[in-house]
Amino acid sequence: MPNIKSAIKRTKTSEKRRQQRMAQKSAMRTSIKKFLTAVDKQDKENASVLLREAKRKLDKGVTKGLLHKNTAARQKSRLEQKYNTLNG
């Protein structure tokens, strides 16, 4: 445990940021999993809404610094491909 006041504050703020990042990343992963389960169930209407939400979460992850932009683009492309298999 740090003794210096600024170091104590730094550990507090870094822990707070870590918790926020974990929550954002978890929400992102959850939205992707919801979309994938909708695709597995062949639910076209629900899948389109969930795809939009998952893509939004990925884009938000890029702006927040959770993901690299190319990683998000690759994941969005793969989700889009899975959605296109539903439509034939």
- Mean pLDDT of all residues in the chain? 95
Domain range for 61 is 5-87
Domains in the chain, number: 1
Q: Residue 59 maps to which CATH number?
A: 1.20.58.110
Per-residue pLDDT, 46: 93
Q: What is the mean pLDDT of residues 31-39?
A: 96
DSSP string, 46-58: HHHHHHHHHHHHH
Mean pLDDT of 72-87: 94
This prediction has a pTM of 0.87
Separation CA 52–CA 20 (nearest Å): 23
Taking residues 18-43, what's their average pLDDT?
Answer: 96
Query: What was the pLDDT predicted at 78?
Result: 97
pLDDT at 88 over 90: no
